[in-house]
Amino acid sequence: MKLRKVTAASAAVLALSLAATACGSDKKDDDASSSSSGGSGKVKIGIKFDQPGAGLKKPDGSFAGFDVDVARYVAKELGYQPNQIDFVETKSADRESALARGDVKFIVATYSITDARKAKVDFAGPYLLAHQDLLVKADSDISKGTDLNGKKLCSVTGSTSAQNVQKSIAPKANLREYSSYSECLSGLQSGAVDALTTDDDILAGYAAQDQYKGKFKLAGLKLSNENYGIGVKKGDTATVDKINKALEKMVSDGSWQKAVTANFGPANYKNEPAPKIGAIVK
Q: What is the DSSP string of 116-184?
A: HHHTTEEEEEEEEEE-EEEEEETT----SGGGGTTSEEEEETT-SHHHHHHHHT-TT-EEEEESSHHHH
**pLDDT > 50? residue 31:** no
CA–CA dist 199, 132 (Å, integer):
4
pLDDT of residue 40: 58
Name all domains of the chain by residue range, CATH numbers in brackets: 43-130+227-267 (3.40.190.10), 132-218 (3.40.190.10)
pLDDT of residue 161: 86
Q: What is the pLDDT of residues 219-267, one digit of tens each?
A: 999 999 999 999 999 999 999 999 999 999 999 999 999 999 999 987 8
Omega of the bond leading into 82 within 30 degrees of 0 (cis)? no
Q: What is the pLDDT of residues 111-159, one digit of tens each?
A: 999 999 999 999 999 999 999 999 999 999 999 999 999 999 999 887 7
| Residue 66 vs residues 13, 108, 170, 174, 194: alpha-carbon distances, Å | 60, 9, 31, 32, 27
Entry pTM: 0.80
Residues forming a β-bridge with 46: 88, 107
Contact 54, 48 (CB under 8 A): yes
pLDDT of residue 73: 98
